[in-house]
Amino acid sequence: MSIIVCPGIHDRTFTQSFISGLFDGSIGQNQANILVFPGKDFLNLSALHILEFLRDRLNNSFQSPLIFISFSAGVVGAIGAAHLWQHLGGRVKAFIAIDGWGVPLQGNFPIHRMSHDYFTHWSSSLLGSGQNNFYADPAVDHMSIWRSPETVQGWWVDSSIGIFPPKGHLSAAAFLRMLLERYEAN
């Protein structure tokens, strides 16, 4: 399994911090092939650039199922790349959008949204959300959920039944690890 991380438009050290906060030793980074799209500035919006990166890093092999983790502006390019990957015969195990506010998300693969506050969670879900989502509570600034997911607390919610009952208060990193462990097992 490969994990493709598609950052937004921000300092690259925030993405390094995100990966460190996510993989704190509880999930082996060795078990998954983690690929970080190195796009700069507006290339993160380009599905074609992300697809080209994937094809290069995976040697045009569509055998490895992918999990997309994308943030902010990177959600725009990543959702397009996920659809293109599938169109070319690849498999998308899951798509995780972190603060992809205003980006419509649909696909025939599992989709999860994570938001830095309840308003972003609620308003983004109007554009598609899937099941098992997360929002920070108390609310944090936009960059905190990416830069320090291990420190951001919030609620895991399941919108698959049309209501948003709290399932449990946990960190954003714990929520992400839970999803990754679930998809590693399947």
This prediction has a pTM of: 0.90
Instruction: Specify the residue for token string 């920070």.
Output: 136
Task: Judge whether 153 and 169 are in contact, CB under 8 Å.
Answer: yes
Task: Judge whether 8 and 73 are in contact, CB under 8 Å.
Answer: yes
- Class assignment of domain 2-185? alpha beta
Domain ranges of the chain: 2-185
pLDDT tens digits, one per residue of 79-107: 999 999 999 999 999 999 999 888 889 99
